[in-house]
């Protein structure tokens, strides 16, 4: 902590004290920057009275699940996996503008029930101050259920979380931000395992190409039926329209993806994944881009 400002040290000490006051806690753990930092702090504050809970669902990328499991093993924290058929919730599957509210309500209701069963006093999640500036209906569900948000309560910004994560040698200190897979599909377009799997595999293709911060948005347009191999079995599946991949990259990465060899390779691999068309968004990567049309949908 030598290179950390005194103010940030005090903020972290305040976070530890807040967590200690909970006596025992279950952390909703996705393996991302925020939840990893929160889990690390909670484990430091409460040791064996801290539990990590991860939801295994169609919304959670496979690579993120594996990283979450490995981190908990390395930290020595008890890790509970909740299997969830999130698409079995018709409201969530219909993908309305407040989908995140219903999804979070479902998830945290399960975690709170688990906490009661395990005799755990509190449930917490990892949102920070920066999350207050975007459209995030899930925060409403969190508040309604009495789930704690220690990082917001302690006044942590994303940059401060990354700074301390680097100091504590957490592997996520420079990890790109990745929201759940459902956030890649426009509101009103039905969520299916097929679509979510396509997005997951397409983003893995970009990771293998060396891209770090990006999104692959899936748009379903009207048109002839398209082939989408959701489970990579080589069998053709029918969907109701043309499937378009809209790639959001940092503008500095535009040159890399339009290199002829990279462009051709990405296009061909995306086609194998099931997309009919592959497009590059000229505005570039930004969080919550699907929220930009909310006003026109109301």
Ordered by where they begin, the domains of the chain are 6-167 (3.40.50.620), 181-297 (3.30.300)
As a whole number of angstroms, the distance between CA 249 and CA 6 comes to 36
Residue found by looking up tokens 């996520």 in the block: 172
The pLDDT value recorded for residue 233 is 41
61-112 pLDDT per residue, tens: 988 999 999 999 999 999 999 998 999 999 999 999 999 999 999 999 999 9
Alpha-carbon distance values, 102 to 111, 148, 243 (Å): 14, 18, 26
C-alpha triplet 195, 28, 192: angle, nearest 5° = 10
C-alpha triplet 185, 189, 190: angle, nearest 5° = 100
User: What pTM was estimated for this model as a whole?
Assistant: 0.88
231-252 pLDDT per residue, tens: 444 443 445 689 999 999 999 9
Q: Which of 145, 138, 217 is nearest to 184 (CA)?
A: 217
Q: Which of 99, 114, 178, 172 is nearest to 147 (CA)?
A: 114
- CB distance 159 to 69 below 8 Å: no
- CB distance 158 to 128 below 8 Å: yes
Ramachandran region, residue 210 (left: φ > 0; alpha: ψ -120 to 50; beta: rest): left
140-191 pLDDT per residue, tens: 999 999 999 999 999 999 999 999 999 999 999 999 988 899 999 999 999 9
**Which secondary structure element, helix H or strand E, spans residue 71, and what is its range?**
helix 62-75
Q: What residues form DSSP beta bridges with 277? A: 244
């Amino acid at each position: 902590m030598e290179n950390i400002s005194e103010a940030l040290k005090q903020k972290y000490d305040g976070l530890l004290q807040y967590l200690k006051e909970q006596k025992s806690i279950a952390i909703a753990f996705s393996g991302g920057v925020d939840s990893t930092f929160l889990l690390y702090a909670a484990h430091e504050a409460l040791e064996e009275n801290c539990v990590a809970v991860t939801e295994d669902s169609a919304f959670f990328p496979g690579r993120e699940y594996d990283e979450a499991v490995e981190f908990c093993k390395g930290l020595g924290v008890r890790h509970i996996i909740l299997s969830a058929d999130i698409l079995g919730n018709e409201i969530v599957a219909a993908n309305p503008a407040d989908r995140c509210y219903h999804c979070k309500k479902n998830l945290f209701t399960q975690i709170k029930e688990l906490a009661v069963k395990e005799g755990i006093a509190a449930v917490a999640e990892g949102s920070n101050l920066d999350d207050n500036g975007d459209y995030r209906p899930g925060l409403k569900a969190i508040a309604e259920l009495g789930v704690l948000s220690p990082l917001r309560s302690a006044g942590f910004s994303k940059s401060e979380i990354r700074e301390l994560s680097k100091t504590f040698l957490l592997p996520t200190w420079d990890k790109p931000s990745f929201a759940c897979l459902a956030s890649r599909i426009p509101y009103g377009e039905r969520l299916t395992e097929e679509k979510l799997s396509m997005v997951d595999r397409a983003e893995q293709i970009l990771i293998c190409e060396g891209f770090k911060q990006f999104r692959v948005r899936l748009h379903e347009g009207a048109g002839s039926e398209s082939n989408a191999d959701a489970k990579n079995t080589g069998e053709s599946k029918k969907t109701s329209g043309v499937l378009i991949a809209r790639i959001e990259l940092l503008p500095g990465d535009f040159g890399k993806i339009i290199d002829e060899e990279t462009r051709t390779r990405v296009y061909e691999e995306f086609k194998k994944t099931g997309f009919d068309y592959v497009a590059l968004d000229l505005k570039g990567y930004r969080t919550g881009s699907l929220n930009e049309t909310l006003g026109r949908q109301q």
